[in-house]
Amino acid sequence: MADTKREIERKYEATDDNQLPDLTRVPGVSAVIDKGVAELDAVYYDTTDQRLAAASLTLRRRTGGDDAGWHLKFPVAPDVRDEIRAPLSDMVPRALAGLARSRTRDAQLVPVVRLLSSRDVRHLTAADGTLIAELSIDAVRAERLAGGPGESHWTEIEVELADDADPAVLDAVEKRLRKAGIRRSSSASKLARALAETAPAIPAPRSEAAPAQDSAGGHVLAYLRAQVDAILAYDPAVRRDLPDSVHQLRVATRRLRSALRTYGKIVDRAVTDPIGEELKWLASELGIDRDQEVLTERLTARIDTVPRTLLLGPVRGRLRIWTVAHRTGSRRHTLAVLDGRRYLALLETLDALLAAPPLLPAAAQPAVKALPKAVLKDHARLATRIEHALTLPPGAARDLALHEARKAAKRARYAGEAAAPALGTSAKRFAKRMKAVQTVLGDHQDSVVAREALRTLAIQAHAAGETAFTWGLLYGQEEAAAADRERELPEVWKEASARGVRWMVTPARS
């Protein structure tokens, strides 16, 4: 069983000339306790082309010290990493290999570097003996195990914050170290330094000349790359069942698909449309769990507002039974999708797309000229759908038309967000207006889905001999909410479309 530890630490260069300063002068530190020397033996694993290292991930098998075992580290922020731990074994644990699968795909994990460290440990404690931070002086010997022979030696200082300690102590310790002539390490990790010093870096694969950064192609590719990076980053978060991770992975998938369609005059849709279909499939598969979660939250919030005198029958229990029935196996399904051949093939296709993008002649145009045309087209598409929906009488046809308009509003919003780095604050303003439209239409669609669920719950309650009164009451509330959104839409759309086109003609700079 793997467990997680949030690691907050800083690394410093150390030489024979450095003397460790008196750290009891750091505010809050009452004592520096010598904990002895530990001998650590760590073997780092990666693919032969170092895919984990390229993503700043580290996977190691370490013996010695008080945390022997397998460790997989994910970057969270500067100086912050999540360390996923698994018990010591001879083989890479399946759980850790799965968390790295979006990077490694089918490539084999092999030993690449061995680090032998003699660790001199000191504990920085408060007056009551509480551990504040652990400081270690590591004498490191690195041995290259794959990619050519090589060896390197260095000494470094690590300062790791104790659980629940104030991060400000790291700044105070660093201030004392700097006064003693000890500077921050130029390497993000021991592994990064070992790879750099024990063998030449693997040359990057040759690719076609990249488009100019200020060109339409340059901006679109940067946006596409950001979404692919987000997919790769949120994949392990979903596997770890972190909050909001499924939603964020789904958003990145949708943004990527939307951009491929919006900027089809820049990146050839003859190539990207099949990729878009695969992205649509992935978003749909990820939505099984997420949509049910959102719906349950909405219905629960509705029930919470019903006066007790009108809450007739086992309403909460009925909702709980219905929710469990719909969510059973949903997480297992999500993980099966992420481990499936189709998803892994999609990741390979996305890599190939970025490595050799099918750029069209318009990609060479200045971004400020080409991007507005694409966003204008999405804006016109949204206008057509909203105007059509507003001509329809209330009912199923109008609900469907408003749902189609919601999808167009989301695409227009994403188009504005993608164009913002090139077009500035005006594009951000446009995206914000499109989001307002999307929000109104989204709440309307949520009401449509909620009413369908409430009708089903009422039927089930009636069949079980329970009163359906409360379900009917909630159905009426959702009908009223949908009507409110329909009344709001014309004004929201008027505000979103007013001057919403002219800014595209002469884009403002941020």
pLDDT digits (tens, 9 = 90+) for 165-214: 999 999 999 999 999 999 999 998 999 999 989 876 555 555 556 777 78
Residue 505 banded pLDDT, cuts 50, 70, 90 = very low
pLDDT tens digits, 92-106? 999 999 999 999 999
- 216-504 adopts what CATH topology? CHAD domain (1.40.20)
| CATH fit for domain 3-198, picks 1.20.210.10, 3.90.79.10, 2.170.130.30, 2.40.320.10 | 2.40.320.10
pLDDT tens digits, 107-152? 999 999 999 999 999 999 999 999 999 999 999 999 999 877 789 9
Are 11 and 156 a contacting pair, CB within 8 Å? yes
Integer Cα distance of 50 and 47 in angstroms: 5
Domain locations in the chain as residue ranges: 3-198, 216-504
- pLDDT value for 1: 47
Residue 504: is its pLDDT beyond 70? Answer: no
Output the 3-class SS for 40-83. EEEEEEECCCCHHHHCCCEEEEEECCCCCEEEEEEEEECCEEEE
408-422 in b/e form (b: 16+ CB < 10 A) is bbbbbbbbbbbbbbb
Output the 3-class SS for 453-467. HHHHHHHHHHHCCCC
Question: pTM for this one?
Answer: 0.86
Residue 386 banded pLDDT, cuts 50, 70, 90 = very high
- pLDDT value for 206: 54
- pLDDT value for 510: 46
Residue 75: is its pLDDT beyond 80? Answer: yes
